Amino acid sequence: MRRLIADVVVLSLAIASFLLSAASPASADTECQVTDPETGVCLIWVEVPGQPGQPGEPGDDGPEDTGSGASCYWDGTEQNVLKPPPGPVPCSSEYGYWSNNYNCYIQLVDPQPPAGDPAWQGHEPGDGAVYRCYQPQTDIDIYIWSADPPPNAGAGPTPREVATIAIEQMNLSAITIGIAPKPGDGSIGIVGMPVWMWAANPDSHTVGPINASASAGGITVTATAQLHRITWDMGDGTEVVCTGPGTPYKASYGDRRSPTCGHVYEQSSSGQPDDHYTVTATSDWVITWSGAGQTGTIRLNGLVRTVEISIGEAQVLVH
């Protein structure tokens, strides 16, 4: 009498082979206008979505982008003037336009002082000009000579724009995808078996935190970037939102589910392009900046990397 023995064949997947680190060329969505195709470094950045919820749930909008900040600011620390504290000021007033470099309102003296006046500081009329520099915070009112008109802070960059210069120095990059089962080595996942996802070889450029400073227009800004979440598009219509870099798989974990970032496929990848699911990991960052007596938040996304994995059906052998 024939006996039917059902043996689940794990195809090419051995649980012990789950440990992997898969890297593939990065691609960028419209939020990241220029991405290095080899490294995943975003060369032109923009904003990120909000605060994550549980894996697979969208979460709320998270920290809001706080805008550009004011380009004109007062800072009396170099004069040992602590009140008022550093902060934004109107870029123009009845006293002229504000200059961050001189820390006062600037106005061309009209008429100009006569030749030999101390305000010329040894220069002759027509060699540059004499300007009034008024600081309402301290009531200091002086004349200064300048070869060129002192820079108008109102026409200069905002703190946010200076922060973007600092962010460019960070070389933020898409993560290198770690995923089990491992693509490219013949491993095939199984419908109903756990898939683990993580950021392989994480560093400050892929998960943070990372700091950088930049100066422009009399403004110095320090920015700190931290990975906010990774959104995994699993290729089967499912998105998994993970609040951190995930947990690398080890063979000793067997068929347990990832405690931080995982997925279970309910259908095989048969019939998909090349019979693979394309898994896309999108890194979302929160960058906080401070400078010019102000603080703010910048939201950044568009750092994307993809990889393909195969998922098969468990089969029954008849003996």
Q: What confidence tens digit (pLDDT) does each residue in 129-187 have?
A: 999 999 999 999 999 999 999 999 999 999 999 999 999 999 999 999 999 988 766 67
Q: What single string gives the DSSP state of each residue in 266-315?
A: SS-STTSGGG-EEEEEEEEEEEEEEETTEEEEEEEEEEEEEEEE-EE--E
- What whole-number distance in Å separates Cα of residue 178 and Cα of residue 261? 11
**Of 154, 294, 135, which Cα lies nearest the Cα of 217?**
154
Task: Note the pLDDT tens digit of each residue in 222-261.
Answer: 999 999 999 999 999 999 999 989 999 999 999 999 999 9
Cβ atoms 240, 282 nearer than 8 A: no
Residue 119, strand partner residues: none
**Whether the Cβ atoms of residue 65 and residue 297 lie closer than 8 Å to each other:** yes
Per-domain residue ranges for the chain?
A: 8-69+157-316, 73-155
pTM (2 d.p.): 0.74
Closest CA to 30 of 260, 217, 282: 282
pLDDT at 40: 52
187, 195 Cβ separation under 8 angstroms: no
